[in-house]
Amino acid sequence: MEWSTACPDWEHRLKAKLSIIPPPIFPEQAEQALAIFKQLRVCDLPKSIWDEDLQEYRSPNFGECSEQWVFDFVAAIFGGYDAETGNQLIREYYLLISKKNTKSTIAAGIMLTAVILCWREGEEHLILAPTKEVADNSFKPAAAMVRADPELMDLFHVQDHVRTITHRVSNASLKVVAADTDTVSGKKSGRVLIDEHWLFGKRSNAEAMFMEALGGQVSRNEGWVIYLTTQSDEPPAGVFKDKLNYFRDVRDGKIDDPRSLGVLYEYPPEMVKKKAYLDPTTFYITNPNMGRSVSADWLEDQLKKIQARTDGAFQQFLAKHLNIEIGLNLRSDRWAGVDFWESAGDKSITLDSLIERSEVAVVGVDGGGLDDLLGLAVLGRERNTGKWLLWCHAWAHQIALKRRQEIAPRLLDFQADGDLTIVDKPGPDVAGVADIVERLRDVGLLPEKYGIGVDGAGIGALVKELVLRGFSTEPERDIVAISQGWKLTGAIKDTERALAGGEMLHGDRPLMAWCVSNARTQAHGNAISVNKQASGTGKIDPLMATFDAVSLMALNPVAMAAGSIYDEGITI
């Protein structure tokens, strides 16, 4: 049997209010599950349905209060099961949907349906939540569904204190686990639902946790895992970033994986570029429950209230209610250059292309503590245009991943991007910086004096390495200590003006986008400073290295070898 989970026309389908969920592979299995799912009662809704048998009002069930997309999603899950072979043909599902579209309630209904249909004796079904609060959001609706139906009360035993619902006949169970308080080691669950996946992206141990939670599926061919999430309130990182990008590629047809199905309610890139998400008439794109659990009037009112705020609340609103992926978190105390950072991006800028295009280049270096980044900035001046071209890299010690666990997933992402090198011990990081500086000297791009700007504190090992390679710390020679704090005001403002005027371009790399979004300014009379203390746990070392490089480029340096190194036949 052949099938595809790709949806290459998803942009058109979302805009036209058409389904982005494929029909079930096995319609009979889907209908059987839907017949059960639709009868489950949604108890957090008012009792508005008159029940003739009970002679009283009751809460509506899923069949009475849900949009069609909910039934399509449930059908795709249970309709992926081949009853003849006992194999689940689609093993991973991913639902990205805006906040308040009844995600957790639907999760409870899906998992309760799975327990009812389960044929394996004593099988455990698992909902894995990142926190106790999120776990309760899934368990309480499931428990309420059982208690609202006399037949289900006879069929199930509900244990609130351990968040477990057990089938009295098959002994199959639904257990809700909070990852911050409970352990997932030794779980043998065949069917697993992971709620609020974006929060796991902030955990350094999430990958290992999932391996434990999903390990039982090795011996259960009928198993599946469902990831439910809204967009992250920070730039995506860790396991969330990896899974989101993977399911996007599956959806777009870039990756052929018929065993994975991504249902992603997000704005098409062209609409994001044009900021169409600010038009209330488009809110339905990421809110398929519009008019039911989501109020269009409320969203429009909230948008008006917070659109002008600069403390990050506006970006978080867009992320949570419209699934707009956060790029730069613009706060009121942000560094002014961040407003122009994205428009100055040029993905063609690499170290090689910078060397090829530049007539002169200077270097800035900052950081280097064991739990810090060692940031390197190479700033070239382009031949003919005079524009500044920026390329940055950073190094981190393994100990930083342990001491700074809150940013460890993001650092590992930067390593995968090629923007960060993680070293096991001090030494290779300093050598890596020196290698690049030496390369610039060998091709004749470094100026005869003031070519290397460093923070005067904490990088003695680097200065020593550079001296061993023939660089000098003598006055008016290669290495110069750049004054920090408020004395960097000139370089900070020069960088802002160059970015705003289109005179400075950078490689549009995730590492630097993160660093500039972390930068916070402090006023000192008429001067300003950007310092690490104000930035909290976020790292800014490569940005500080950039300011050091700008300080030197502002001196209008001339390269050792005048003109283009390629004109003189020098080979890199």
pLDDT in tens, 299-338: 999 999 998 887 778 889 999 999 999 876 556 567 888 8
Mean pLDDT of 30-40: 97
Q: In this predicted structure, what is the pLDDT of residue 354?
A: 97
- The proportion of the chain whose per-residue pLDDT surpasses 70, expressed as a percent, equals 93
Mean pLDDT of 35-63: 87
Buried b (16+ CB within 10 A) or exposed e, 445-461: bbbebbbbbbbeeebeb
Architecture of the CATH domain 336-553: 2-Layer Sandwich (3.30)
Please give the C-alpha separations between residue 268 and each of 264, 272, 281, in angstroms, as whole numbers: 11, 6, 15
Distance CA 456, CA 87 (A): 64
Over 60: is that where the pLDDT of 571 sits? no
Start-end of CATH 3.40.50.300 domains in the chain: 85-270
Give me the DSSP letters along 247-273.
HHHHHHTSS--TTEEEEE----HHHHH
pTM: 0.78
Please give the C-alpha separations between residue 230 and each of 168, 195, 266, 322, 510, in angstroms, as whole numbers: 35, 9, 10, 9, 21
Q: In this predicted structure, what is the pLDDT of residue 429?
A: 93
Tell me the average pLDDT of the chain.
Answer: 89
Higher pLDDT residue, 348 or 338? Answer: 348
pLDDT in tens, 105-130: 999 999 999 999 999 999 999 999 99
Over 60: is that where the pLDDT of 550 sits? yes
Structure tokens at 46: 């008012």
Distance CA 338, CA 326 (A): 14
Please give the C-alpha separations between residue 99 and each of 120, 312, 366, in angstroms, as whole numbers: 34, 17, 40
Over 90: is that where the pLDDT of 200 sits? yes
Q: In this predicted structure, what is the pLDDT of residue 564?
A: 43
Q: In this predicted structure, what is the pLDDT of residue 305?
A: 93
Q: In this predicted structure, what is the pLDDT of residue 328?
A: 63
Please give the C-alpha separations between residue 231 and each of 61, 88, 215, 380, 542, in angstroms, as whole numbers: 28, 28, 27, 37, 27
Give me the DSSP letters along 160-208.
GGGTEEEETTT--EEEEEETTTS--TT---SEEEE--HHHHTT-TTHHH
In this structure, are residues 179 and 130 in contact, taking their beta carbons and an 8 Å threshold?
Answer: yes
Mean pLDDT of 449-475: 85
- In this structure, the number of other CB atoms found within 10 A of the CB of residue 527 comes to 15
Over 70: is that where the pLDDT of 21 sits? yes
Over 50: is that where the pLDDT of 176 sits? yes
Please state whether beta strands 81-82 and 87-88 pair in parallel, antiparallel, or not at all (unpaired). Answer: antiparallel
Mean pLDDT of 134-143: 91
Of the candidates 185, 266, 382, the one whose C-alpha atom is nearest the C-alpha of residue 11 is 266
In this structure, are residues 74 and 243 in contact, taking their beta carbons and an 8 Å threshold?
Answer: no
Over 80: is that where the pLDDT of 443 sits? yes
pLDDT in tens, 253-262: 999 999 999 9
Q: In this predicted structure, what is the pLDDT of residue 45?
A: 82
Q: In this predicted structure, what is the pLDDT of residue 537?
A: 56
Over 80: is that where the pLDDT of 445 sits? yes
| DSSP assignment letter at 358 | E
Q: In this predicted structure, what is the pLDDT of residue 332?
A: 58
Q: How far is CA 471 from the centre of its chain?
A: 41
Over 80: is that where the pLDDT of 180 sits? no
Start-end of CATH 3.30.420.240 domains in the chain: 336-553
Please state whether beta strands 373-382 and 358-367 pair in parallel, antiparallel, or not at all (unpaired). Answer: antiparallel
Label residue 488 by pLDDT band (50, 70, 90): confident
Determine which of 1-5, 70-74, 388-392 has the lowest per-residue pLDDT on average.
Answer: 1-5
| DSSP assignment letter at 483 | P
Tell the burial category of 287 from Cβ atoms under 10 Å away from its Cβ (0-12, 13-18, 19+): buried
Label residue 369 by pLDDT band (50, 70, 90): confident
Please state whether beta strands 521-524 and 527-530 pair in parallel, antiparallel, or not at all (unpaired). Answer: antiparallel
pLDDT in tens, 263-295: 999 999 999 989 999 999 999 999 999 999 999
Q: In this predicted structure, what is the pLDDT of residue 473?
A: 82
pLDDT in tens, 522-543: 877 767 778 665 455 568 999 9
- The proportion of the chain whose per-residue pLDDT surpasses 90, expressed as a percent, equals 67
Determine which of 92-96, 140-144, 185-189 has the lowest per-residue pLDDT on average.
Answer: 185-189
Q: In this predicted structure, what is the pLDDT of residue 312?
A: 77
Q: In this predicted structure, what is the pLDDT of residue 181?
A: 63
Q: Which fold has domain 85-270?
A: Rossmann fold (3.40.50)
Is 554 in a helix, a strand, or coil? coil
Structure tokens at 284: 């339905």
Distance CA 344, CA 465 (A): 33
State the amino acid at position 128 in one-letter form.
L
- In this structure, the number of other CB atoms found within 10 A of the CB of residue 313 comes to 14
Mean pLDDT of 195-214: 88
In this structure, are residues 413 and 207 in contact, taking their beta carbons and an 8 Å threshold?
Answer: no
Over 60: is that where the pLDDT of 484 sits? yes
**Per-residue three-class SS string for 81-115:** EECCCCEECCCEEEEECCCCCCHHHHHHHHHHHHH
In this structure, are residues 210 and 77 in contact, taking their beta carbons and an 8 Å threshold?
Answer: no
**Total length of the chain:** 572
Q: In this predicted structure, what is the pLDDT of residue 565?
A: 43
Tell the burial category of 296 from Cβ atoms under 10 Å away from its Cβ (0-12, 13-18, 19+): middle
Is 65 in a helix, a strand, or coil? helix
Distance CA 473, CA 183 (A): 55
Distance CA 433, CA 436 (A): 5
